[in-house]
């Protein structure tokens, strides 16, 4: 490894937040377990906390916020539901009896303490790229979180997918074990970005489509995929289908705040990623990620116009004045439910201020070629808490039926976004199931 690449691989190791009170209280007790000196352990734990946030470990291992890292999050797959394990240092139900070798083997090879094959809902296929030093830093941090005695529900995979030994064959087609190798011809920033995106960030898990075995489709890396109804967009630098028109600053701001003014506002799973992970990354890592993503081979998704270049202000109020509305009317539903925040013209309120109500024009969710994400936003609302703002949009799923959600969504896409993106009441019902 070159000096510049080594510097990049170890850059940005200072976390944003100090360890919690519980972490400090248990630090001394657990430091000895992994052979750390009292002087070195606080820095290593802080580094591990930062890296655990980069990997968004809490998102998959925290079903109950009062029991962080105790597992129990249900992950739906085409073959059944997997419940995530407890990774607190509880010796009976967590990983308190795991040694460093056990933890490394799980992260790098997808093999548990008892030799069992782990399912790739745990993204060891990406974590295998993480250096041993960084894996052990995460281990040091997890050893300081409060132990929780909790056994998550058993997974409910159907036969034969509940046979873990079959993962040997899945791995043959979908898993290459080995650490990240820097590209000497590229900059330190590019290598750092590649290391984070391909490894701890495991961005491909959502943004790459799957093959028939549910492994990642390597021929379409980062070109977008659908997960639990949500479409994770194309993040290659294609100018129409992807982020080719986004600057490094656009990407950095989006990852740190969830907002790229005039382009996008994070919702759904991406809002959770911003809130739990990327907002805590420092500017060096954020810029490195942006540099790497903008260097990827562009992949066209068939769009002829960028998602953030659609829409015109509405004149729905004057159009409805003096007219009797019969049946389900999307414009009327918009005025009744959305206009107080987004303005009846759809231009939003507050422009690009941190707590602004966003414009529905030049908005990637509204301008997408599929209406799923917009319908899911209407159904479920938005909750995105960052260090700058606490954004909340109410959910309308309980107030509006499927036909109303479909009519409202179709009005918004036709008026403010891509008019070819439509949705039916039956499709809204399917999204409710997710």
Domains, the chain, ranges and CATH?
A: 1-184 (no CATH), 316-433 (1.10.760.10)
C-alpha span between 259 and 235 (Å, rounded)? 16
**Torsions phi, psi for 133 (to 5 deg):** -60, -45
Say how far residue 411 (Cα) sits from the centre of its chain: 28
Burial of 269 (0-12, 13-18, 19+ CB in 10 A): middle
C-alpha span between 154 and 353 (Å, rounded)? 46
C-alpha span between 257 and 234 (Å, rounded)? 20
Which residue, 356, 359, 353, is CA-closest to 314? 359
Would you state the pLDDT for residue 161?
86
CA dist 356 to 172, 264, 340, 344, 392, Å?
Answer: 49, 13, 12, 15, 11
Would you state the pLDDT for residue 14?
33
Would you state the pLDDT for residue 389?
86
* DSSP per position, 277-344: TGGGS-HHHHHHHHHHHTTSPP---S-SS-TTS------HHHHHTT----S--HHHHHHHHTHHHH-T
Q: Which two tokens stand for residue 208?
A: 């790459």
C-alpha span between 5 and 182 (Å, rounded)? 6
Would you state the pLDDT for residue 287?
98
C-alpha span between 370 and 409 (Å, rounded)? 11
User: DSSP class of residue 18?
Assistant: P
Would you state the pLDDT for residue 35?
46
**Torsions phi, psi for 237 (to 5 deg):** -80, 30
Would you state the pLDDT for residue 150?
96
Compute the C-alpha angle 292/295/297, nearest 5°.
125
Would you state the pLDDT for residue 25?
44
Q: Which two tokens stand for residue 29?
A: 């007790």
422 φψ region: left (φ > 0), alpha (ψ -120 to 50), beta (else): beta
Integer-rounded Cα radius of gyration of the chain: 23
Q: What is the rounded average pLDDT for all residues in the chain?
A: 89
Which residue, 257, 259, 250, 241, is CA-closest to 296? 241
**Residue pLDDT, tens place only, 291-318:** 999 999 999 998 999 999 998 898 877 7
Say how far residue 61 (Cα) sits from the centre of its chain: 14
Point out the residues of the chain with pLDDT beneath 50.
1-40
- Three-state DSSP at 215 gives coil
Q: Which residues of 376-395 are buried (b: 16+ CB within 10 A; e: fewer)?
A: bbbbbebbbebeeeebebeb
* DSSP per position, 151-201: -PPPP-PPTTTT-GGGHHHHHHHH---------TTS-HHHHHHHHIIIIIT
Would you state the pLDDT for residue 327?
84
C-alpha span between 129 and 411 (Å, rounded)? 45
Q: Which residues contact 336 (CB under 8 A, 6 or more apart)?
A: none
Say how far residue 74 (Cα) sits from the centre of its chain: 16
Would you state the pLDDT for residue 16?
33
Would you state the pLDDT for residue 356?
80
* DSSP per position, 358-420: PPSSS-TTTTSSSSHHHHHHHHH-EEEE-SS-EEEE---TTTS-HHHHHHHHHHHHHHHS-TT
Contact 138, 131 (CB under 8 A): no
Neighbours of 97 (CB within 10 A): 12
């Amino acid at each position: 490894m070159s000096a510049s690449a080594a510097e990049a691989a170890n850059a940005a190791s200072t976390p944003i937040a100090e360890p919690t009170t519980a972490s400090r209280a248990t630090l001394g007790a657990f430091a000895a377990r992994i052979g750390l000196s009292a002087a070195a352990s606080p820095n290593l734990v802080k580094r591990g906390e930062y890296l655990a946030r980069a990997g968004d470990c809490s998102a998959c291992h925290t079903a109950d916020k009062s029991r962080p890292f105790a597992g129990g999050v249900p992950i739906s797959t085409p073959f059944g539901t997997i419940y995530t394990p407890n990774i607190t240092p509880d010796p009976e139900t967590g990983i308190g009896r795991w040694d460093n070798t056990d933890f490394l083997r799980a992260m790098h090879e997808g093999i548990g303490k008892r030799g069992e094959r782990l399912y790739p809902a745990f993204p060891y296929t990406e974590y295998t790229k993480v250096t041993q030093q960084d894996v052990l830093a995460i281990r040091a941090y997890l050893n300081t979180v409060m132990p929780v005695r909790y056994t998550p529900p058993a997974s409910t995979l159907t036969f034969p997918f509940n046979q873990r030994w079959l993962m040997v064959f899945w791995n043959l087609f979908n898993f290459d074990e080995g650490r990240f190798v820097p590209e000497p011809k590229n900059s330190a920033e590019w290598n750092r970005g590649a290391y984070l995106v391909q490894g701890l960030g495991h961005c491909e898990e959502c943004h790459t489509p799957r093959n028939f075995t549910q492994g990642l489709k390597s021929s379409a890396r980062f070109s977008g995929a659908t997960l639990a109804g949500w479409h994770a967009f194309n993040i290659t630098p294609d100018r129409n289908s992807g982020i080719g028109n986004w600057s490094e600053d656009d990407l950095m701001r989006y990852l740190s705040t969830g907002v790229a003014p005039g382009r996008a506002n994070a919702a759904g799973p991406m809002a959770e990623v911003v809130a739990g992970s990327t907002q805590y990354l420092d500017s060096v890592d954020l810029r490195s990620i942006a540099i790497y993503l903008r260097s990827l081979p562009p992949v066209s998704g068939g769009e002829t116009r960028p998602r953030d270049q659609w829409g015109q202000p509405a004149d729905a109020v004057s159009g409805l004045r003096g007219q009797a509305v019969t049946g389900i009317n999307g414009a009327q539903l918009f005025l009744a439910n959305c206009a107080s925040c987004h303005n009846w013209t759809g231009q939003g309120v507050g422009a690009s201020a941190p707590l602004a109500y966003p414009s529905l024009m030049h908005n990637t969710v509204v301008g997408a070629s599929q209406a799923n994400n917009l319908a899911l936003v209407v159904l479920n609302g938005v909750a995105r808490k960052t260090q700058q703002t606490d954004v909340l949009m109410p959910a309308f799923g309980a107030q509006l039926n499927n036909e109303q959600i479909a009519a409202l969504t179709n009005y918004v896409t036709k008026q403010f976004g891509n008019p070819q993106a439509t949705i039916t009441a039956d499709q809204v019902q399917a999204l409710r199931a997710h």
